[in-house]
Chain A
Amino acid sequence: MWIDHSGWFYPAILIVHALGMCVMAGLTCMIVLRLFGFPRQLPMVVYNETLPWLVGAFLINAASGLLLFIHDAYQLIHNIAYDLKMISLFIGLGVTWVLYRDVLGPASALEATGETYVASNRDKGVGLAAVAIWWFVVIASGRFIAYLTPPS
């Protein structure tokens, strides 16, 4: 495999993958804090405008993740943590889509009319679900993959 032949390529993919994950988990966390009112004066439109950054980070992670999968396919298909990560990743994508479409979009539209946006319990719930999925499942299972890998 050419990933193996080049000594620096595998760590380079790992770095890119970690950076993308950080951006996704970190931005989702900032969105949820804003839904809970921190910082109250920061307009919702700013959070709505983070979408391209989140999508960019996801695409980078999908590409780098695919390369990592190709590299370790045998170990990964027998790894429960990896299955859990993939399932939660798709759920996370769905919840994040709802977060932007049903929460951040309407919130910035409301603020554009001069009204003040206060997050409903449903909005907060969607945000919390997104952050819980990206953080606790994707990151944790990503970490645990290395520890649950069966011997090759």
Chain B
Amino acid sequence: MLHSLLSELVAWAGHTGVHNFMVKYPMPFVVCQTLHFMGLSVLLGALIIVDLRGLGVFARAPLLETHKLVPLAIGGFAVQLVTGACMTLTNPTTYFVSKAFWIKMVLILLAGLNALVYEIFIFRPLAAGDTAVETSGMLKLTSALSLFLWVAVLMFGRLIAYI
């Protein structure tokens, strides 16, 4: 059942307009790869400051101020989402059958959920004036998980070519 679902997914991807465009010229794929990496750089660059602050490293940064970097991380992720989708549609047989690809997708989902937990349980109370969250274990946990999950996303992204 899973196998036939995957075959249908691969067949569908192979008939999309994006696929036809991407396989017609060599440049778009290389451009997508570069932009995909740049998107990750922005995402990780922003999260290094946000999450390390959460773990107590850049203690002189006001926690609420570091949160202003979060939209940059989301912007970086948006670039990755678009370029990643284009690359997946280009070579569906490589991506959809790769275990690393599906592990990466699950990790992204978990990173998204973790960010949501940060927003609800850390940022919102903090913005409302509750400074107790600054020393909470939840802040350290979500910050550590965020860094761990995104590094794992990078790792499994790289492994798509191998697994």
Contacts and interface: CB of A to CB of B under 8 A. Distances in A.
Interface string A46-57: 100110010000
A147 to B, nearest CB: 6
Interface string B14-36: 00000000000000001001100
Main secondary structure on chain B at its contact with chain A? helix
Please indicate which of the listed interface residues B37, B40, B45 has the most CB atoms of chain A within 10 Å of its own CB.
B45
Interface stretch (B57-65, B86-94, B128-136): B57-65
Main secondary structure on chain A at its contact with chain B? helix
Contact of A14 (B45, B72, B158): B158
B49 interface: yes
Contacts of A33: 72
Contacts of A25: 38, 41, 45
A140 interface: yes
B126 interface: no
Contacts of A28: 45
Interface string B40-83: 11111110110011000110111001101100100000000000
Interface string A122-133: 000000000000
A18 B45 contact: no
B9 interface: no
B105 interface: no
Contact of A15 (B44, B49, B52, B158): B158
A147 B34 CA distance: 12
Bin the interface of chain B by size: 20 to 34
B34 A11 contact: no
Interface string A22-35: 11011111100100
A21 B40 CA distance: 10
A23 B147 CA distance: 12
A135 to B, nearest CB: 6
Contacts of B72: 30, 33
A18 B162 CA distance: 16
Interface stretch (A37-45, A61-69, A70-78, A92-100): A37-45
* In the complex, the 6 A-B pairs of residues with the closest C-beta atoms, listed nearest first: A26-B45, A39-B68, A25-B41, A26-B41, A46-B61, A46-B58
